[in-house]
Structure 1
Amino acid sequence: MKVGVVTFPGSLDDVDAQRAVGFGGHEAVALWHGDHDLRGVDAIILPGGFSYGDYLRCGALSRFSPVMTEVIAAAERGMPVLGICNGFQVLCESHLLPGALIRNDHRKFVCRDQRLRIENNRTPWTSAYAEGAEVTIVLKNGEGGFVADEATLDRLEGEGQVLARYLGDNPNGSLRDIAGITNARGNVVGLMPHPEHAVEDLTGAGTDGLGFFTSLVEGSFA
C-alpha cells in the first residue's frame, strides 16, 4: 500500500512515521501541507510535532492547509487516516474527530514510555492487536489532555469509539484516561502517544507500536 505522510511547517516526526510505514511493509509517500494532490495514496498519516509553531491553538492553523481539504474529503470517502499527537489535534480541529486536546493538567511537558490498553481493534489501524491488548509506546506532549462534554464522552464509550486508554497514572489529565479515539465509521483514528517510535528493538520502547502500521495489511477498509 501507498501511505501518505503529511509534513506541515513544524512537523517533527514525519520522517519517523515514513520509516515506520516501511517497517509495516508499505510504501511511504511524502505529502506537503501545500499539496492539492494526494498522489494516489491508500491511507494518510498526520504526524506529530508543532505544526505552524502551535500558534493560536495546536492544529488550528494546519486545519486550513490546502492538503487538509483533500484529507477531509478522502476521510469522508472512507480512506484510513491516522493522526498522531499533533496530528490528533489537527483531526479534532478539522472536526473529523470530536473533542479537543488541551494543556496537560500538571502544566508540564511529558516524555516517557507509556502503557496503553487497546480498546478497539476493529479499525484499519488496530486490527493487528487483540482487543484489550496492553502495549507500551512513547508518549511526548505538552497539550495532550483529551476533553469533551459528558454526552460526547458517553457516546464515544457506548459506541466503541475509544481506541486506547492510558494504564497506570494518567499522564496528562485526559478525561476517562482516553489516549485515542476513532470516528463512528472507524477509518479515522487519533492517538496521542507515538507508535512510530516503537517499531524496532534497537531504539525506543520496543516494537509494540508496529501493529498500527501492519494493521493496514490485515484490516478491512469497508
Structure 2
Amino acid sequence: MAKPRVLVLRAPGTNCDVETAYAFEQAGAIAERLHIARLLERPALLRDFQILCVPGGFSYGDDVAAGRILALQIRHHLLAAIREFHERDRLILGICNGFQVLLKAGIILPPDSDGKPVATLTWNDTARYEDRWVYLSVVSDRCVFLRGIRELQLPVAHAEGKFVVRDADWLEQLVRQGHVALCYQMPGPAGTTTAQNIASQPWQMRVPYPWNPNGSMGNVAGVCDATGRIFGLMPHPERFIDVTHHPRWTRDERYDPPHGLIIFRNAVSYFE
C-alpha cells in the first residue's frame, strides 16, 4: 500500500508544524507542510491528501482569541472543501491550537438548530499558561485516532484550553453520543476517570487541578465528530513520539511505544 499523505496546515504564528510533520513521518506517512495562503488560493489541493492536520502553536498570535482568526478563514473560505475532504473517508486532526481552530470553525461539533456553537475553548481557570504532563483516559470507542488505547500520558501547553459547553444537558448529550473521546484523570486506579462515571454525571465529576490543568467541564481533553474521523485534543501527541521524551523514561518501562506515536500510527494504519 502507498503511504498516506498528510497536509500539515500552518499559519502565521504556528510553531508545532515541523514536529507534527516529523511525527507523522515516524508513523509511516508522507507529510507536507502547507501555508494557509496556498490552500486559500487552491482549495482543491486537499484532494491530494488523506489526512489533514492543524497543529499547535499560536496562529495569528491568538490576538483575537486562540485559533479564532484561522477558524474564521476556514469557515468562510474552506468549509466546503474540508467537508468534501471528510466525505471521501479522510481523517482530520487538530492539536491544541488546531483543536481550537476546528472547534471554533464548527468542523468537529455541529452547531445547534439555531446555528450557534454548542461548545468552545476558553481561558484556563488559573488564568495563566499551563505547561505540564497529564494523565488521560479514552472514554469513547468511536475515535479512529484512539483505537486500542485506554490510557495515555501526554504534555499540555496552553492558556485557553478549558472546554465549556452551554449547559450540563449539552455535555451529557455529547457524552451519550460518543463525541467526548478523551478526558483528564488523576494518577492511580483510585482517581481513574472511567467512561461509566463520566456518562452518569459528567458535570459533577471534577478532576482537580493540576490533573485537570484548565478546569474543563467534564474533564474533557478531546472530542471527535460523529464518524470518529475528525478529532481534536488539547494535549500534544507530537511531543511524545520517543521514549526519551517522557520525564521518567529511565525509571519506567510503560512508555514504549510512546503514547503520542500510537495516535499517529492509528491514523496511518486507517489507510492500510
TM-score (norm 1): 0.91
| SS state at 2:243 partner | coil
| SS state at 1:38 partner | helix
Q: Which residue identity lines up with residue 155 of structure 1 in the other structure? A: Q
Offset of 1:118 from its aligned partner? 1.4
Partner residue, 2:20:
17
Unaligned runs of 5+ in 2: 110-118, 187-210, 248-254
**Structure 1 residues 121, 61: CA separation in 2 closer, same or farther (over 3 Å shift)?**
same
Deviations, residues 40-69 of structure 1 (Å, cap 9, x unaligned)? 010111000110111212111102336744
* Number of aligned residues: 218
Q: Which residue identity lines up with residue 100 of structure 1 in the other structure? A: T
In 2, are the aligned partners of 1:162 and 1:182 still within 8 Å (CA)? Answer: yes
Partner residue, 2:9:
6
Within a 5 Å distance, the mapping from 1:107-186 to structure 2 comes to: 107-127=127-147, 129-130=148-149, 133-149=150-166, 150-168=168-186, 169-186=211-228
User: In structure 2, how many angstroms separate the alpha carbons of the residues matched to 1:114 and 1:68?
Assistant: 33
Offset of 1:126 from its aligned partner? 1.5
Offset of 1:218 from its aligned partner? 3.3
**Structure 1 residues 54, 76: CA separation in 2 closer, same or farther (over 3 Å shift)?**
farther
User: In structure 2, how many angstroms separate the alpha carbons of the residues matched to 1:178 and 1:63?
Assistant: 21
In 1, are the aligned partners of 2:71 and 2:104 still within 8 Å (CA)? Answer: yes
TM-score (norm 2): 0.75
Offset of 1:73 from its aligned partner? 3.7
User: In structure 1, how many angstroms separate the alpha carbons of the residues matched to 2:102 and 2:84?
Assistant: 13
Are residues 1:201 and 2:252 paired?
A: no
Offset of 1:72 from its aligned partner? 4.3
Q: Decide which structure has greater helix share.
A: 2
Cα RMSD of the aligned pairs, angstroms, is: 2.0
Are residues 1:95 and 2:106 paired?
A: yes
Following TM superposition, the consecutive aligned residue runs of length 4 or more in structure 1 with deviations greater than 4 angstroms are none
Bigger-Rg structure (1/2):
2
Deviations, residues 134-164 of structure 1 (Å, cap 9, x unaligned)? 2111111100000012232112110111111
User: In structure 1, how many angstroms separate the alpha carbons of the residues matched to 2:246 and 2:54?
Assistant: 20
Partner residue, 1:212:
263
Q: Which residue identity lines up with residue 213 of structure 1 in the other structure? A: F
**Structure 1 residues 121, 3: CA separation in 2 closer, same or farther (over 3 Å shift)?**
farther
Deviations, residues 184-215 of structure 1 (Å, cap 9, x unaligned)? 12111110000010111233455111111100
Unaligned runs of 5+ in 1: none
Offset of 1:82 from its aligned partner? 0.5
In 2, are the aligned partners of 1:62 and 1:68 still within 8 Å (CA)? Answer: no
Deviations, residues 68-110 of structure 1 (Å, cap 9, x unaligned)? 4433442354421010000000011110123100000111111
